[in-house]
Copies of this chain bind each other. A is one copy, B any other.
Amino acid sequence: MMSGAVQQKQDTVALPVFAAVTLALITILSVWKLKQFKYKLVNEAGVAMFYGLLLGLTVRLIWTDKGEQCPGNTTAANEQANTSNITMVNITPHGHVGNEKGQFSSHPEETFDLQVLFNLFLPPIIFHGAYTLNQKRFLANLGSVLTYAFAGTIISCMCIGACMYGFTKLMVLLSEQKEEFFLTHCLLFGAIMSATDPVSVLGLLSDLRVDLDLHMLLFGESVLNDAVAIVLTHAITTYTQMNAGLIFNPTAFLHAFVFFLIVLIGSFLLGLIFTVITALLTKFTRLHENPLLETSVFFLLSWSSYLSAEACGLSGIVAVMFCGLSQARYTVLNLSSEGRARIKQLFEVFNFLGEISIFGYMGYILLKFTCHKFEPYFISGALLSVFISRAFNIYPLSFLLNLGRTNKIPCKFQHFMMFAGLRGAVAFRLAVKVTAKEVSHTIFTTTLLMIVFTIWVLGTAADPMLRRLDIRVGVDPDENQEDRIFEIATERLDTTQGLWHSLDYKYLKPMLTHCGPPLTESLPQCCGVFARVFSSPRVQEDDEEEELCEIEAGKNTLDLGETESQQGSSESDSASEHQEDLLDGDLGLGTAPAQPREASGSSTQL
């Protein structure tokens, strides 16, 4: 009689999200409790991973009887066909099984998925890292950072590729191997494993508060090598598709190089564009009168830099890093003090929860995923080659860099950098994103195992290692400040200032903020209209604002003592944290004069 039966759909998202939230809560509380008991060895990433493993195991045990068999010949192409059609990447056996049956029997647990996780949480983590960076130190080490990130990653990729090729040949010799590994597969694995992870490295560095130079080198390298790894994997793909084989093909190589430049410059520009939008918006409107709106707009625009870069196939991580750096340099000057505090706190919460979520998910998928392929030779080869490649990367490059740097990279730093090659979210994302046909599962499994190994073993051993190497830990912000005062005193603020400083101080700052000399003065006559349009609408009569700009310009450094004071209360607070002026010096290679520690000067320069 009642043909129109009424049905109710179940909410399939609530349960997995609830599981994830519970996991995060347990992780937070256990790490916090363990730290209280002075177990310095634990880190959030490792603990989150551990609980993720437990959850994965539980889910697997509960759902194991639902006819889950791993199809032997599921190829990556097949998997790709699925994943691009269903709403999210579905790296589970159910995806495969489903595909063969013509339907997807995915568990609700897989809904809160990888891509959402990365798009939601990676940007705030990287942004937070860049936003709270000591900019001066970063720029001083920029040359070295770029060398490690670019040359180092390429060396690492080649080295791992070569090692793995040897190992796969050995596997074939010992005839335990049915799968065929080509050199491109090995190089692909090399590219995936070359990307050290900014998330775990940031967690480690901020926990231990190591020496600032070491912090800059490790953080900068881990962020920037994402772009290199993306380019390398893409280059290998292009190279393979061109059927170039093992013969060197200049056209394919040129393609790869052009693509590399596009990715890097494109990502950089996207990051910058969103900063310019935010800065102009906050400069020319009264957005600062409403801190909630200000925070929302700032947050959304910064997030957009990552999303737009990823949507274009560029490196979102690189884009959001440049965005964070430039937001901290320009936009922050236009914000209200409350807005500034809110933004910092918002990103802090996202950063904290994001790290836990990403590593928890990785642990979960390691045990949840039933189609793992454990190739003992491949895994042991990977383990060995990761260390070999890291050594080939750090030591020779450090030697070369030290030839040019006045402020040498000490041996103990090199040892620690060699040691701190943690792999994490970026490698995982690459392993999921880029899969070669036959060997995808072997690569995926090995990558996950390498991540677990580096996070647990290397991450835990980092603190004892630092003590052993006698590297300063627990560096407090006051020390920076000391550095700054003396550096301002010793730096030459005359005509030898670099091109960058002039561009920054004369053009960018007046255009994007209320600080610096008026554009009408710095720009040539012909740009009169442009200068008038972008000139600050308010004259610098506002005391508070002038103070901000002054602090920012390196004056008035004496009242920076309360950097760690309660946020939201003082104007100078945020300014002192973010707005350490770039005083030219050595743009990377350490060509500035060595800075004597005992030097000290008056703090009222300029």
Contact = CB atoms under 8 A, between A and B. Distances in A.
Interface of A: 1-15, 17-18, 21-22, 24-25, 28-29, 32, 36, 76-77, 80, 83-90, 98, 102-106, 110-113, 115-116, 118-119, 180, 182, 184-185, 188, 233-234, 236-237, 240-241, 243, 245, 281, 286-287, 290, 292-293, 295-297, 299-301, 303-304, 306-308, 310-311, 313, 316, 338, 341-342, 345-346, 348-349, 352-353, 432-439, 566-569
A433 B301 CA distance: 33
Given A7-B434, A311-B11, A345-B342, A87 B87 contact: yes
Contacts of A29: 281, 297
B85 A3 contact: no
A304 B32 contact: no
A567 B566 CA distance: 12
- As for how many copies of this chain the complex holds, the number is 2
A87 B90 contact: yes
Contacts of A566: 338, 568
Contact of A21 (B18, B32, B300): B300
B236 A184 contact: no
A311 B15 contact: yes
Given A292-B349, A296-B352, A301-B25, A12 B90 contact: no
A115 B240 contact: no
B439 A4 contact: yes
A434 B296 contact: no
Q: Which of A25, A90, A105, A313 has the most CB of B within 10 A?
A: A25
Contact of A88 (B13, B18, B25): B13
B106 A5 contact: no
A292 B352 contact: yes
A12 B106 contact: no
Given A237-B7, A346-B349, A435-B7, A2 B569 contact: no
Contacts of A297: 25, 28-29
B111 A87 contact: yes
A286 B22 CA distance: 20
A434 B4 contact: no
A300 to B, nearest CB: 5
Contact of A22 (B243, B304, B342): B304
